[in-house]
Structure 1
Amino acid sequence: MPPTHTDGRSAAKVVGPPAAAAPPPPTPSRPPRRATFWRRTTPWFFLAAPLALLVTFTYAPVANMVAYSLTDWDGVSPDLNYIGADNYIEIFTRPELFQVFFVSGYYLAASAVQIAAALYFATILSFNVRFRNFFKGVLFFPYLINGVAIGFVFLYFFQDGGTLDSVLALFGHESDRAWLGTSNSANISLAGVSVWRYTGLNFVLFLGAIQSIPGELYEAAELDGANRWHQFRYIIAPGIRPVLSLSVILSISGSLSVFEIPYIMTGGATGTETFVIQTVKLAFQFNKMGLASAAAVVLLLIILAVTWVQRRLVPDDRVDLV
């Protein structure tokens, strides 16, 4: 059979013109140098005022305090005699200057009580409790009162035949003791005043942290049969750990630097003198401003060291409850 002839156009593959290549994406133009400059410097304009205030009222006074600690300045004379580390040597070689730190132990124990009480009330009032707004105000109100007023109020509260003795007499207990007359009872009384005053601050911090925990976690825990104790142990306690760590730091530093209440109520008498009261007396009663400045530097270093150790032992890790 002879070969069959076919049309070449139908047998051959028709090839069209090559497709045009896609244009490259436009290169983003770089912002002008002036716009880049303003974008980088604008945040510093907003930070200028706070940084100026911070340097003026914090770092500059600290630097001056360190400089004064190396002199024998009396606080009045215009002459400053450089004596090196003699003030620091005197502080560490005079045991009576460090004995006042034992008084801070009372306030440290009181800080543990106030943190426990604040955590308890914050946990209770974070749930649906009757009159909880009233109790919130009652707990936070003492922190709003001026420290001088608190000192004078409790000075009459603890005096012989005062409010405390009258209340105890209503329950049949006749007390003839001087609450601020001995070292032990005076320090316990003053530490109790600090508990009454600062519990509200810790309460507000804990309450805010607890209320920031998602409510779905409580609902899921209730569906799983968890009671209030289980919710506190596995939801609330881990969720407020950063705030609890902050409260511990503030409590320790506050215990080491107590001044207002004991200075107003006793003036440091009957064994209630704290390190800060002693520093104030060195500066303004004995005119040893250089030695007082050295004592203030030592207290600052102790607080920084305690804070660093606490942060190392309890790192502020991010808590993920989900």
Structure 2
Amino acid sequence: MTDTTHQAAVRAAAGPPSAVPVPAPAPRRTRVWRGLTPWLFLIAPLALLVTFTYAPIANMVAYSFTDWDGVSPELHYTGAHNYAELLTRPELFEVFWVSGYYLAASAVQIAAALYFATILSFNVRFRNFFKGLLFFPYLINGVAIAFVFLYFFQDGGTLDSVLSLLGLHSDHAWLGTPVSANVSLAGVSVWRYTGLNFVLFLGAIQSIPGDLYEAAELDGANRWQQFRHIIAPGIRPVLALTVILSISGSLSAFEIPYIMTGGATGTETFVIQTVKLAFQFNKTGLASAAAVVLLLIILAVTWLQRRLVPDSVDKGVDLV
């Protein structure tokens, strides 16, 4: 008897295959509750998001088409008059030049954060100490940082005292001219936000599998080649995120320059100007239009950046 005939005889003796029992469908009420459960968990966060994000944005857009002064209960619809005023008054957009200082500072802080994150991702002495040292400035309140550096840059302050100890006597007013004041304020932003970018880069680098580094070392790759072919492609999405945050932060700088100079000496940013329009000159409608314009600019820059530098990396890691 052949194997095929034997297998056929065994199947005939075993009889027809038993059918797999099909579970009974769940009751309709159970299926409905299963479908509603995720939405029940989302009710609270969605309510908070709508209440404190989308509703204020909608009100801001509505106010931008009125001449509301922020106090009067009456609103007068003016159409696109506020937007026309913004576009026909060049001085309202000249403050964007100040954002150039913060944009340059953002490039410096990204480069510094990426350098330190790369160095401290390898085994170096006291790396935990340096990690805490770099991230500590970001934990300090922005108001406290502004007051600390206000005394640091004032005439006869900490900076002048340190320079005099080094034999460098200077009577330069660090916050007295537009260039030096903006450079000083941009330097403060570098000191504060480098730690945030450092943590983002460090987390992305540490998520790269260690087998890639071992394979690279076996192939004779040095640190620069490991950074170029392993680290840089691996952290590309995080790098794109930090660029978006840096550009939006540069355009919306407010806290440090407002406290340290109040917008004087050519340090007024677009957000400081918007706040003054609303609360100093009682032009809430015009200020709302300026805020809408700033929001659209940030959204446009973000969209353009994501189109030019997509997040997805499908090419893998190349060590050649």
TM normalised by structure 2 equals 0.93
1:56 to 47, 51, 54: 51
Decide whether the 8 Å contact of 2:110 with 2:242 is kept in 1.
yes
Q: How does 1:216-295 map to 2 (within 5 A)?
A: 216-295=211-290
Q: How does 1:81-230 map to 2 (within 5 A)?
A: 81-230=76-225
Q: How does 1:37-76 map to 2 (within 5 A)?
A: 37-76=32-71
Q: Deviations over 1:7-26 (max 9, x none)?
A: xxxxxxxx9xx875445444
Gaps of 5+ in 2: 1-8
Q: Secondary structure at the match of 1:272?
A: coil
Letter aligned with residue 32 of structure 1: P
Q: Deviations over 1:36-67 (max 9, x none)?
A: 11111100111110000000000000000001
Mapped to 2, the partners of 1:219 and 1:42 lie a distance apart of: 46
Letter aligned with residue 182 of structure 1: T
Decide whether the 8 Å contact of 2:274 with 2:291 is kept in 1.
yes
Mapped to 2, the partners of 1:109 and 1:318 lie a distance apart of: 27
2:301 to 293, 302, 306: 306
Q: Deviations over 1:83-125 (max 9, x none)?
A: 1110011011100000000000000000000000000000001
Letter aligned with residue 260 of structure 1: E
Stretch moving more, 29-38 or 48-57: 29-38
Match of 2:5 in 1: none
Match of 2:317 in 1: 321
TM normalised by structure 1 equals 0.92
- Does residue 32 of structure 1 match 2:27? yes
Mapped to 2, the partners of 1:25 and 1:133 lie a distance apart of: 58
Letter aligned with residue 311 of structure 2: D
Q: Deviations over 1:185-217 (max 9, x none)?
A: 000000000000000000000000001111111
Q: Secondary structure at the match of 1:103?
A: helix
How far residue 28 of structure 1 moved from its aligned partner, in angstroms, is 4.0
Higher Rg:
1
Gaps of 5+ in 1: 1-14
Match of 1:10 in 2: none
Mapped to 1, the partners of 2:47 and 2:37 lie a distance apart of: 16
